[in-house]
Amino acid sequence: MLPPPGTVLCRLAELDDPAGREFSFGRGPDALLMFVVRKGGAVFGYVNACPHTGGPLNWMGDRFLAPGGGEIQCATHGARFRIEDGACLSGPCDGRALSPVAVRVDDGNIVVAER
Ligand code: FES
């Protein structure tokens, strides 16, 4: 389950530019696995579930980006997604997109935003 708006995820400065970070909330079937990607001073949040199989995009830790850091990449079959809106750009998810989680930067913190 998504934490309430205003919940602090981490400091923006803790993330390289660009880089991603994984977060999880809750347990069991209601658990929410999500990640954020920093690109410059902006952050983008998504549910950590690939539209292809529903499995997580990262195969270890906070690795969500393709080599070079310009796109999000699923580790399982290599689908690539645009950082800014989660649209699939190539791979078996063509025409689909990641599910967004609204986040914003507030006083240097990455926080959950209102939808
Ligand atoms: S599970 Fe992501 S591309 Fe297949």
Residue 3 forms part of a structural domain = no
Count other Cβ atoms within 10 Å, centred on residue 103: 22
Number of folded domains that form the chain: 1
* pLDDT for res 94: 85
Which pair of structure tokens corresponds to residue 104? Answer: 């914003």
Q: Please identify which residue in the block is written with the tokens 């983008």.
A: 44
Residue 1 forms part of a structural domain = no
If we measure between CA atoms, which residue out of 97, 39, 48 comes closest to residue 76? 48
Residue 96 forms part of a structural domain = yes
If we measure between CA atoms, which residue out of 62, 72, 68 comes closest to residue 93? 72
Task: Give residue 56 CA to ligand 1 midpoint distance, Å.
Answer: 8
Q: What is the CATH number of the domain that holds 67?
A: 2.102.10.10
Residue 58 forms part of a structural domain = yes
Single pTM value for the model: 0.95
User: SS3 string of 30-42?
Assistant: HCEEEEEEEECCE
Residue 102 forms part of a structural domain = yes
Residue 69 forms part of a structural domain = yes
Task: Give residue 92 CA to ligand 1 midpoint distance, Å.
Answer: 7
Q: Could you list the residue range(s) of the whole structural domain that residue 24 is in?
A: 8-112
- Pocket residues: Cβ below 6 A from ligand 1: 50, 52-53, 55, 74, 76-77, 79, 91-93
State the Cα torsion 106-110-112-115 to the nearest 10°.
Answer: 70
Task: Read off the pLDDT of residues 34-90 as tens digits, 9 standing for 90 and up.
Answer: 999 999 999 999 999 999 999 999 988 999 999 999 999 999 999 999 999 999 999
Residue nearest to atom 3 of ligand 1 (CA): 77
